[in-house]
Amino acid sequence: MPTPLQNQGKPITTHDLVVVHRMFRREFGEAPGRVRGVRHGSRAQIRLVADRLALLLDTLHRHQADEDRLLWPKLAERVPGHAGLWKRMRAQHADLSARLARADALIGPWTAGAGSARGEELAAALEEVSRAAEEHFDEEEREALPLAPEAVSQAEWDEFGTAAVAAAPGSRLFTVLGMILKDTDPGEQILIMAHLPLPPRVLWRAVGERGFRRLEERLAAAVGHG
């Protein structure tokens, strides 16, 4: 079992998780408006919004699976007296997963109807995801995250970032990275970039960052804010 000694007395930082939650909060907050805003758009514009939604839903699904696999079991075993909290975290993940699946199942029918049919249903499903995710992140950040530094080593914590990078190959990684870096200060940018191996870090600066900015401009134009 890792002890603070294994971290050489330095508390681990869990702030990178708060930064990732901030991205999910913002993106899911904007998602229903994007669905409603693109309803008079071209097929290509609807596809652009649909791709962003599918990526977002899948990324949150994987994020939760990583927490269930890499974090909660260690904390439950090493920090006694919080059985109710871990039970709630798992129940909230299960509830969110069902909402993510419901929204995901509506993307296909919505794009097939060129953005009009099922649009309101999809927007409402995304509002449900957003509300449930906000509540879950609030409790997780307030109750669960403060327990991590006493029970998890920095190396174990870093497995999180490694798993997230491995799950997002190619251009998908740069879109997720761009979304995360969008509302960050320079210190947070260093924290997030440290999870990347060197080649994608160099590629991000060379082409990824610019590509993401263009994608954001096209998305804003598609939903009527460009």
Minimum Å gap between C-beta 89 and Fe ion is 6
Where b means 16+ CB within 10 Å and e means fewer, 135-163 reads: ebbeebeeebbebbbebbbeebbeebbeb
Per-residue interface string for the shown chain with Fe ion, residues 163-202, x marking contact by CB under 5 A: ----------------------------------------
Q: How many residues bind Fe ion (CB under 5 A)?
A: 2
From the list 26, 29, 55, 32, the residue with the least C-alpha distance to 223 is 32
Q: Pick the closer one to Fe ion by CB: 104 or 140.
A: 140
Q: Pick the closer one to Fe ion by CB: 27 or 67.
A: 67
Tokens 């939760």 correspond to what residue?
64
From the list 136, 129, 132, 128, the residue with the least C-alpha distance to 88 is 136
Q: Pick the closer one to Fe ion by CB: 16 or 67.
A: 67
Minimum Å gap between C-beta 217 and Fe ion is 31
* Near Fe ion in 119-138, by CB under 5 A: none
* Near Fe ion in 136-165, by CB under 5 A: 140
Tokens 């039970």 correspond to what residue?
87
Q: Pick the closer one to Fe ion by CB: 159 or 216.
A: 159
Q: How far is CA 210 from the centre of its chain?
A: 21
Query: Is 59:124 a contact under the CB 8 Å cutoff?
Result: no
What are the angstrom distances between the C-alpha of 175 and each of 87, 155, 160, 215, 216?
Answer: 32, 26, 18, 9, 9
Minimum Å gap between C-beta 62 and Fe ion is 12
Q: Pick the closer one to Fe ion by CB: 94 or 206.
A: 94
Minimum Å gap between C-beta 112 and Fe ion is 32
Minimum Å gap between C-beta 78 and Fe ion is 18
Per-residue interface string for the shown chain with Fe ion, residues 9-48, x marking contact by CB under 5 A: ----------------------------------------
* Near Fe ion in 52-111, by CB under 5 A: 67
Minimum Å gap between C-beta 63 and Fe ion is 7
Minimum Å gap between C-beta 79 and Fe ion is 16
The C-alpha angle 91, 82, 77, rounded to 5 degrees, equals: 95
Tokens 């999910």 correspond to what residue?
24
From the list 182, 167, 140, the residue with the least C-alpha distance to 61 is 167
Residue ranges in contact with Fe ion by CB under 5 A: 67, 140
